[in-house]
Amino acid sequence: MEFPFDVDVLLPERITVLDQHLRPPARRPGTTTPARVDLQQQIMTIVDELGKASAKAQHLPAPITSASRMQSNRHVMYVLKDTSARPAGKGAIIGFLKVGYKKLFVLDDREAHNEVEPLCILDFYIHESLQRHGHGQELFQYMLQKERVEPHQLAIDRPSQKLLKFLNKHYNLETTVPQVNNFVIFEGFFAHQHPPVRKLPPKRAEGDIKPYSSSDREFLKVAMEPPWPLNRAPRRATPPVHPPPRSSSLGNSPERGPLRPFVPEQELLRSLRLCPPHSTARLLLATDPGGSPTQRRRTSSLPRSDESRC
């Protein structure tokens, strides 16, 4: 992959290691740089173009390697340069390998969850015209020596079929440990791992899953006694047989007696018709000039026994 600027001057070594700062490496003695050239911008251009080429080769919807992603993560990028002569005389890039440490939850052979932080292969690309020339193995082996890891200790993020065949051919990595995420680990991954930060018990079969264990059920049957003096319950006073009547002062409602039995509507109306008016009403009728003599005679002619019934 060629660029409009001089790659040989920008990347003097055959394999250049770039971190999140994307700073240009130290230059060889005696080399000069054209004036007003932003070397860091050129490195960012190389990273972006390599990420696009890798995404296109893997049929990804978007690049997973870019200068902005490198600056926001603690990843390391190994860039392989072509030292052979080019028509333009500016050199070219063969490919790259991006790695980084990630905290993962992975399953072991017993399907137990382990929290580990291995070195992960995040992106790997060799130009299509230069594949099967040993460049990929050269770049991968350089990374292993630089990071001081073994191939079976790596975790690979969504590896392609080409990468799986590459690892099987050159490093005899074939048997994988099934995972529930996108990372792939191989047999022997846990052989030299440090004790994990957190290790969960292995999963049970669906038929063995219970809401709680038998020991928990026995524990629930035992009544836990609170410590002293909370275990000394206060004595309850014996309630009186006849509770004292409530006071009718402000804030307390008076004691109500039993309700009267229900009176039918017809009987109530009949009693109202037979009930004579009150003595005060009789006096008002006698003094009322508008009252009719018939009404006065009807009132005075009622027997006294009916009046007592009301």
Burial classification of residue 62, based on how many CB atoms lie within 10 Å of its CB (0-12 exposed, 13-18 middle, 19 or more buried): exposed
* Residue 220 marked in a binding site: no
User: Does 193 belong to an annotated binding site?
Assistant: no
Q: Is 142 annotated as a binding residue?
A: no
> 21 labelled as ligand-binding?
no
**Which residues have a Cβ under 8 Å from the Cβ of 10 and sit 6 or more positions away?**
24, 39, 42, 43, 46
| 162 annotated ligand binder | yes
User: Is 42 annotated as contributing to ligand binding?
Assistant: no
126 has binding-site annotation: yes
Is 161 annotated in a binding site? The answer is yes
Q: Do the annotations mark residue 135 as ligand-binding?
A: yes
129 is in an annotated binding site: yes
Residue 182 assigned to a binding site = no
* Residue 137 is labelled as binding a ligand: yes
302 is in an annotated binding site: no
125 is in an annotated binding site: yes
Q: Does residue 259 have a known ligand-binding role? A: no
> Is residue 179 a known part of a binding site?
no
**Residue 209 known to bind ligand:** no
Distant-in-sequence, close-in-space partners of 107: CB < 8 Å, separation ≥ 6: 113, 114, 177, 178, 179, 180
For residues 139 and 15, give the distance between their C-alpha atoms in angstroms, rounded to a whole number: 8
The Cα–Cα gap between 115 and 130 comes to: 38
Is 122 annotated in some ligand binding site?
no
Q: Is 103 annotated among the ligand-binding residues?
A: no
90 belongs to an annotated ligand binding site:
no
283 assigned binding-site residue: no
- From 196, 110, 184, select the one nearest 153 (Cα to Cα): 184
Residue 124 annotated as part of some ligand binding site: yes
d(CA 34, CA 9): 10
Residues that constitute the known binding site: 124-137, 160-169
Binding residues for acetyl-CoA: 124-137, 160-169
